[in-house]
Structure 1
Amino acid sequence: MANEKFDYVIVGGGSAGSVLADRLSADRTKTVLVLEAGRSDYPWDLFIQMPAALTFPSGNRFYDWRYQSDPEPHMHGRRIAHTRGKVLGGSSSINGMIFQRGNPLDYERWGADAGMETWDFAHCLPYFNRMETALAAEPDDELRGHDGPLVLERGPARNPLFQAFFRAAQQAGFARTNDVNGYRQEGFGPFDRNVHKGQRLSASRAYLRPHLDRPNLTVRTRALVSKINFDGIGTSDVRATGVSYRRNGKQHSVDAQEVVLCGGAINTPQLLQLSGVGDSTHLTSLGIKPVVDLPGVGENLQDHLEVYIQHACTQPVSMQPSLSLWRYPWIGLQWLFGRKGPAATNHFEGGGFVRSNEDVAYPNLMFHFLPVAVRYDGQKADAKHGYQVHIGPMYSDARGSLKITSTDPTVHPSMKFNYLSTEQDRREWVEAIRISRQILEQSAMAPFDGGELSPGPTVQTDEEILDWVARDAETALHPSCTAKMGPATDPMSVVDPLSMRVHGTSGLRVADASAMPYVTNGNIYAPVMMLAEKAADLIQGREPLAPIAAEFYRHGSSPVPDSLEGLDSRPQVTPARNQGAA
């Protein structure tokens, strides 16, 4: 029997895949198939739809790929758990719902690399705007979108702990900002969130589900793609012709004019390697016949690491009591019948961005403040009331790699992130902890401060701080850059930035976090969605949206960083005046 045929096969129904499914199927003359290895994001699934339930899917095999790093050599040999969404909507169906574009200078950095000129901020901004409806933005703000599928609600941050934290940041010498996604990222204030009317607004809900009735769009869940099929192997015309996948215990193959990989920074390089696209020496060692020798597949792995600085709270104003099991029924009923109450928010309602020293061009630290002391896995601090700050460096020069160890697609790849492996990374971690403590020790927090619970007063010296980070830090869940965009002349690039084609092939594209050349200085969901929006135009051969040369805040008088390349290799610096010892 002949294989089914589609114009586009999208591998992965996550964040980027949902965007591509919508934008590509909008052309009713083209047929689109989405293959998602995980389950559907059922409307009745409270773990997905209820914002405050975000801790439950993490580590749960029904929602999470449950990846782990290899033993990290600079973190006492710990394996770091990596939650990744295994469900329609991908990680946007189980993440913290924080919407951060990153700094405009992140994209200036992208655009400064050879061949990447069309990925600077002016070229990315129209795609950020196309995808969002920023409810808190002014109607005439050219830096924000006003009629896109992603409806963004600004965190109310009404809890007195938020207001005290913002005042404390100002007392420590840091600015307030009206909009971290607008003109000025640097500073502190409420955050935009993918929460709308008390419910999670995942990529699937925003882009995919509204169009499931299109006759040219087919979505299949629990379909694990095991291989990309090629013609012309061994010639100069290697073309992807479709994919093979397993569903309901049976093997299937489907043909496509274009295969678009949207599996993310882990699944996409894994599938490329399984299909013979990657470092030929490594593939041959596993008995895989190389199709295209691309040594950059799986390299350049980047992520954000973070810790929680937790304090006990002396006043009964934190959300800590809502973690009590006996309160869950009432909290659940409030949400079910009114989309209100503690379950209707992600609680990540505010925070900020700062520079840890005067030699960095734009913020390299991000703060998330929570009016509760709890870890992502739901483990709460031993306190009746508490609060915490999430903190970590945002553009570390540590680089890792990802490699398959088996030809079995169900075997997770080997991943090593090399956290804390560089002088820059270690220095900025010390600065991050000292700045966090400086803010939390300001007089604005004094009426609430019941003492530091974690790391605690015994952690003071640089060495003690780094040892605590190595023992306690978790990933912020932003893996990226493992199939980076760049010209074919760059031996480590994988994806053509003008077409999203995988170098050395035709009919094969990548549009997800793996294509990012550098991780941005915030949560990566928004950049991934922007990348997918732009990729949809490039894949369809449409004229990209016209660049918008909007002004944005730059620290100091220099219009651009002194050396964009230097962001990866800055010399050691002395912390700025307001970054003294805790």
Structure 2
Amino acid sequence: MNFHIFRLFHIILLAVFIFHDSCYSDEAGNYGFMKDATSAPKLSHFDYIIIGGGTAGCALAATLSQNATVLVLERGGSPYDNPTASDINNFANTLLNITPNSWSQLFISEDGVFNSRARVLGGGTVINAGFYSRAEEDFVAEAGLERDEVEAAYEWVEKKVVFEPPVKGWQSAFRDGLLEAGVSPYNGFTYEHIVGTKFGGTIFDPDGRRHTAANLLEYANPNTIVVYLHASVHKILFTITGNQRPKAYGVIFQDANGVSYKAELATQDSIMSEVILSAGAIASPKLLMLSGVGPAAHLAAYGVNPVIVDQPMVGQGMSDNPMNPVFIPSPEPVEVSLVQAVGITKFGSYIEGGSALSVSISLTRSFFDGVLKLLKKTKLPTQSISKFFKTLDLTLNVTTKAGVMIQKANGPLSRGHLELRNTNPDDNPSVTFNYYKDPEDLNKCVEGLSTIIKVIDSKGYSKYKYPAPSARGLLNLILALPTNLRPRHITSTFDLQQYCIDTVMTIYHYHGGCQVGKVVDNNYKVLGIDALRVIDGSTFLKSPGTNPQATIMMLGRYMGQKILRERIAFQGKEEET
């Protein structure tokens, strides 16, 4: 039997990106307050300036606009400009499209793993796999969030962008295999994070159209909010008076033509006007550094002057949940599906799956060209991978008839760091995640892959796999393919630990760099600075639940509500006096 290794290779090219953990409707996107940055005045004033119109930023901005003037500065464009690009059938093509103005920006970590950053209104929810699941109870408790307020914030998000998925053949077989493999009990359809097997929500509607964080701007007050697109923030501005703490008072941003603009807080003497960073785990710590908040010696080495606060923890604690895949060619047709069923194990590995993706040849070539360009900026060896890419035959059929199962290590405990590579705010910084450095993360991977092997060999999944090769054989095939830029260690004895290390990919759930208790306090205020907060995944100590987008959107709503309550209380006291 010919197992079509060439087809398996193309499945891998797609699945590298399947789980990148926002949007289209006839009404959505007709926002009169959404403008290109070229139309901005040279100087403007707002109560709140939000840097980043992504997963957290859209929810936060929509909420704050109910009782304040809000400016959102988004470096990317609008997802409404090309609505079909976010349809489920175009998922892989959109994620792989890394041309200069695309929604997805490729970066390669110093670990040799491909990753991606969103640059579009709605952030990662525009290019991810769409799975929606709430955080575990422990995450909410450890973050010090009020349970009732969290519930209300989740529901606010869910009313606008979340759906129950239409479960078909492959996902049903995957569920049955998980239960047969011991990932029990079966919890049906639920948004909650519960040990066992379940179906979660999705931001794809029944017609396969994506709904994203950008849709949450439908909640906004159109009279008090402005969203500038293609607005790249270059610096946060601070006032320093005598021995007082530095205070953020505005930002400098540029449009796509390189023209500079200034936006300032409307009432700089008030404690109720703030600059809020919601640019994500890569951009938020980097922009703090470029603005003079970070490790002083490191900033000085790149000519950042003045240093506002010597804060050595900025950029530290970077984590990315490691993912390892298994691809299973199917003798039967399979539906196009992204993540729907998930196995939440007791040992700390989450198991997810998808089926039947495809990608255009031209975009695959574009992706490879982007990889080679970025490799020149890293410390990674380039010769062997460059030779491989240049000799690749890209005329093969890239339509898949297969499923993919992945394990994601919870947490993780392994941590790395982020550093400047240059002072261009749009370039990728240098990021090291240290995948599987902690032995507990590695143990989770081994147990997760062992469970996937049981799922593949289960009776419930048997319809969608050939009698041979074995599950172990499928794992062996992947070692020969360029799923990342790491060296391979092929030995006579199969070693699941080494397999985890060699074939690690990202699930796009990177976080850290501005962590609570280290860079920001429990109210997400930057330590040592007034009128500046960070509200996004860079503040997380670990990734919430199986997939973080639900919790990041919730956090934007939750903190927006909290800030508004503080604002209203402050206004009441001012009126009394």
**Closer, same or farther: CA 422–374 of 1 in aligned 2, 3 Å:** farther
Distance 1:383 1:130 in 2: 38
- Displacement of 1:239: 0.7
Q: SS in structure 2 opposite 1:178?
A: strand
2:474 aligns to what?
Answer: 454
1:163 aligns to what?
Answer: 172
Q: TM-score, normalised by structure 1?
A: 0.74
Matches within 5 A, 1:329-368: 346-356=337-347, 364-368=348-352
Correspondence for 1:127 among 134, 139, 153: 153
Q: For 1:272-305, what per-residue CA distance to the aligned partner results, in whole angstroms no more than 9, with x for missing partners? A: 0000111122212222221012222111111112
Correspondence for 2:129 among 93, 96, 104: 96
Distance 1:277 1:447 in 2: 56
Matched to 1:32, the amino acid is V
Correspondence for 2:64 among 19, 24, 27: 24
Distance 1:41 1:224 in 2: 17
Matched to 2:516, the amino acid is M
The answer (yes or no) to whether the contact 2:358–2:399 under 8 Å persists in 1 is: no
Correspondence for 2:198 among 189, 198, 203: 189
Matches within 5 A, 1:132-143: 132-133=158-159
Q: SS in structure 1 opposite 2:80?
A: coil
2:421 aligns to what?
Answer: 405
**Closer, same or farther: CA 86–461 of 1 in aligned 2, 3 Å:** farther
Matched to 1:42, the amino acid is Y
Q: SS in structure 1 opposite 2:495?
A: helix
The answer (yes or no) to whether the contact 2:59–2:554 under 8 Å persists in 1 is: no
1:480 paired to 2:480: no
Matched to 1:495, the amino acid is V
- Off by >4 Å, runs of 4+ in structure 1: 120-123, 373-384, 457-463
* 383-392 or 88-97, larger mean C-alpha shift: 383-392
1:312 paired to 2:303: no
**Closer, same or farther: CA 366–181 of 1 in aligned 2, 3 Å:** same
Q: For 1:411-459, what per-residue CA distance to the aligned partner results, in whole angstroms no more than 9, with x for missing partners? A: 3211000002121122221111111101221222234321447314898
Correspondence for 2:282 among 266, 282, 286: 266
The answer (yes or no) to whether the contact 1:373–1:388 under 8 Å persists in 2 is: no
Correspondence for 2:183 among 174, 181, 195: 174
The answer (yes or no) to whether the contact 1:312–1:383 under 8 Å persists in 2 is: no
Q: SS in structure 2 opposite 1:230?
A: strand
**Closer, same or farther: CA 2–195 of 1 in aligned 2, 3 Å:** closer
1:7 aligns to what?
Answer: 47
Matches within 5 A, 1:33-44: 33-44=71-82
- Displacement of 1:467: 3.4
**Closer, same or farther: CA 445–375 of 1 in aligned 2, 3 Å:** farther
The answer (yes or no) to whether the contact 1:124–1:530 under 8 Å persists in 2 is: yes
1:242 aligns to what?
Answer: 250
Q: For 1:446-499, what per-residue CA distance to the aligned partner results, in whole angstroms no more than 9, with x for missing partners? A: 34321447314898998633333333332000111211112xxxxxx111213x
**Closer, same or farther: CA 234–408 of 1 in aligned 2, 3 Å:** farther
1:217 paired to 2:242: no
Distance 1:26 1:196 in 2: 28
The answer (yes or no) to whether the contact 2:107–2:117 under 8 Å persists in 1 is: no
1:226 paired to 2:234: yes
Q: For 1:495-550, what per-residue CA distance to the aligned partner results, in whole angstroms no more than 9, with x for missing partners? A: 1213x211111111111111123222311111111211121123234499xxxxxx
Q: SS in structure 1 opposite 2:352?
A: strand
1:292 aligns to what?
Answer: 309
**Closer, same or farther: CA 215–448 of 1 in aligned 2, 3 Å:** closer
1:502 paired to 2:518: no
Identity of paired residues, percent?
Answer: 23
**Closer, same or farther: CA 178–371 of 1 in aligned 2, 3 Å:** same
More helix by share: 2
Q: SS in structure 2 opposite 1:196?
A: coil
Distance 1:425 1:525 in 2: 22
Q: SS in structure 2 opposite 1:252?
A: strand
Distance 2:217 2:553 in 1: 13
Give the alignment's Cα RMSD to 1 decimal.
Answer: 2.9
- Displacement of 1:210: 5.5
The answer (yes or no) to whether the contact 1:352–1:368 under 8 Å persists in 2 is: yes
* 436-445 or 449-458, larger mean C-alpha shift: 449-458
Q: SS in structure 2 opposite 1:455?
A: helix
Matched to 2:211, the amino acid is L
Matched to 2:168, the amino acid is R
Q: For 1:343-368, what per-residue CA distance to the aligned partner results, in whole angstroms no more than 9, with x for missing partners? A: xxx53222221123xxxxxxx11121
Unaligned runs of 5+ in 1: 73-77, 112-117, 134-148, 320-341, 357-363, 487-492, 545-582
* 163-172 or 293-302, larger mean C-alpha shift: 163-172
Matched to 2:314, the amino acid is V
Correspondence for 2:404 among 385, 388, 402: 388
Q: SS in structure 2 opposite 1:443?
A: coil
The answer (yes or no) to whether the contact 1:537–1:543 under 8 Å persists in 2 is: no
1:252 paired to 2:261: yes
**Closer, same or farther: CA 43–246 of 1 in aligned 2, 3 Å:** closer
1:437 paired to 2:485: no
Matched to 1:468, the amino acid is Y
The answer (yes or no) to whether the contact 1:430–1:462 under 8 Å persists in 2 is: no
1:283 aligns to what?
Answer: 299
The answer (yes or no) to whether the contact 1:105–1:121 under 8 Å persists in 2 is: no
Distance 1:381 1:127 in 2: 45
- Displacement of 1:170: 2.2
Distance 2:196 2:146 in 1: 23
**Closer, same or farther: CA 397–410 of 1 in aligned 2, 3 Å:** same
Count of aligned pairs: 468
Matched to 1:504, the amino acid is G
Distance 2:397 2:134 in 1: 31
Distance 2:542 2:196 in 1: 22
Correspondence for 2:85 among 47, 56, 61: 47
Distance 2:398 2:72 in 1: 45
- Displacement of 1:22: 0.6
**Closer, same or farther: CA 435–382 of 1 in aligned 2, 3 Å:** farther
1:200 paired to 2:200: no
Distance 2:430 2:500 in 1: 23
Q: SS in structure 2 opposite 1:527?
A: helix
Q: TM-score, normalised by structure 2?
A: 0.75
